[in-house]
Chains A and B, each alone.
Chain A
Amino acid sequence: MSLIESEHYTDTQQKEFVSAVTTEPPVFDTKHVRPWTGTQKFAFRAAFTYVVLMCIPFTAKYYTYIYNLNWSNLYWSDLSSIATNVSAPQFVTIATESGRWGLASYANLALTLLTSLVIAALWTIIVRAKKTEREEYNELYYWMRVLVRYRVGFAIVAWGYKKLIPMQMVFPTEGILTTSIIDMQEQKLYWQSMGFVPNYQSFLGLAEFLGGFLLLFRKTTALGAALTLVVLANIALANHAYDGGVHISSFGFAVLALIILAKDLPNIWNLLVKEKDVIPTTYYPDFSAAWKKYSRLGLKTVGLIVFVGVLLYMQWRDFHNYRLPVTPGLSGAKGHYAVTEFKLNNTPIAFSPDDSIRWQDATFEEWSTLSFKVNRKEKMDQSNGGSIRHGLGGVHIDIDRSWENASIGGGRHFFFYEVDSVHHQILLQNKNTAHREEKQVLNYTRPSDSRIILSGRNEFNDSIYVVLDKIQKKYPLSEEHREAGVY
Chain B
Amino acid sequence: MSTEVISENNIEVKKEQDEKALYGLYHWKNYEKIIFRITFVFLLLMTIPTEPDWYVHTWNYDWSNIHWNMLYDISAAGRIPKFVTIPTESGKWGIASYANLFLSALFATVAGLIWTVIVKAKKTERKEYNQLYYWVRVLARYQVGFAIVAWGYRKLVPIQMMWPPTDILNTPILHIQEQKLYWQSVGIVPHYEMFLGFAEFLGGFLLLFRKTTALGAAITTVVLANIVLANHVYDGSVHIHSFMFSFVALILLWKDLPNIWNLLVREKDVTPQVYYPDLSTPWKKYTRLIVKVTALLIFVVLEFVLHLAGEFEYRVPGARGLAGADGYYQVSEFRLNHKILPYDPYDSIRWQDVIVEKWATLVFKVNRKETIDQSNGPALKATGGLVKDIDRGWESSGVQGRHFFYYTIDTVNHVLHLQNKNKSHRAEKQVLHYSQPSNTRLIFSGINEFNDSIYVVLDKSSKKYPVILQGRPEGSY
* Interface residues, chain A, with chain B CB atoms under 8 Å away: 2-4, 7, 9, 12-13, 15-22, 26, 28, 30, 32-33, 97, 100-101, 138, 172, 176-186, 189-190, 192-193, 196-197, 199-200, 203, 219-220, 222-223, 230, 237-238, 240-243, 264, 267-268, 271-286, 336, 338, 350-354, 375, 377-380, 382, 407, 409-410, 475-478, 481-482
Contact = CB atoms under 8 A, between A and B. Distances in A.
Interface stretch (B41-49, B264-272, B319-327, B403-411): B264-272
Which of B16, B469, B471 is packed against the most chain A CB atoms within 10 Å? B471
B56 interface: no
A3 B23 contact: yes
Q: How large is the interface on B (under 10, 10 to 19, 20 to 34, 35 or more residues)?
A: 35 or more
A284 B4 CA distance: 11
Contacts of B475: 379-380
B259 A271 contact: yes
Interface stretch (B144-152, B240-248, B273-281, B356-364): B273-281
A19 B271 contact: yes
A477 B174 contact: yes
B283 to A, nearest CB: 16
A177 B233 contact: no
B278 to A, nearest CB: 5
Given A223-B264, A476-B398, A3 B343 contact: no
B386 interface: no
Contact of A172 (B22, B173, B184, B274): B173
B372 A199 contact: no
Interface in B132-147: none
B170 A16 contact: no
7 cross-chain pairs, A with B, having the tightest CB-CB distances, nearest first: A409-B477, A241-B192, A241-B189, A182-B169, A177-B174, A377-B476, A193-B185
A176 B21 CA distance: 61
Contact of B215 (A222, A272, A351): A272
Given A177-B172, A178-B174, A477-B175, A19 B267 contact: no
Given A32-B3, A271-B263, A379-B475, A280 B399 contact: no
Interface of B: 1-6, 10, 14, 16-23, 25-26, 130, 164, 168-178, 181-182, 184-185, 188-189, 191-192, 195, 211-212, 214-215, 222, 229-230, 233-234, 256, 259-260, 263-278, 280, 330, 342-346, 353, 372, 398-400, 461, 463, 465-469, 471-477
A277 B229 contact: no
Contacts of A278: 263, 269-270
A463 B6 CA distance: 90
Contact of B472 (A16, A20, A185, A267): A185
A410 B23 contact: no
Nearest to B181: A193
Given A182-B468, A281-B4, A475 B278 contact: no
A178 B3 CA distance: 64
Contact of A410 (B174, B215, B467): B467
A183 B465 contact: yes
B373 to A, nearest CB: 10
A19 B172 contact: no
Nearest to A179: B172
Contact of A477 (B176, B260, B353): B176
Given A193-B182, A377-B476, 11 more contacts: A177-B174, A181-B168, A190-B189, A192-B173, A200-B230, A272-B214, A275-B211, A277-B17, A284-B2, A375-B463, A409-B466
B436 to A, nearest CB: 22
B26 A9 contact: yes
Contacts of A272: 214-215, 256, 260
Given A7-B26, A243-B472, A478 B178 contact: yes
A378 to B, nearest CB: 6
A240 B214 CA distance: 30
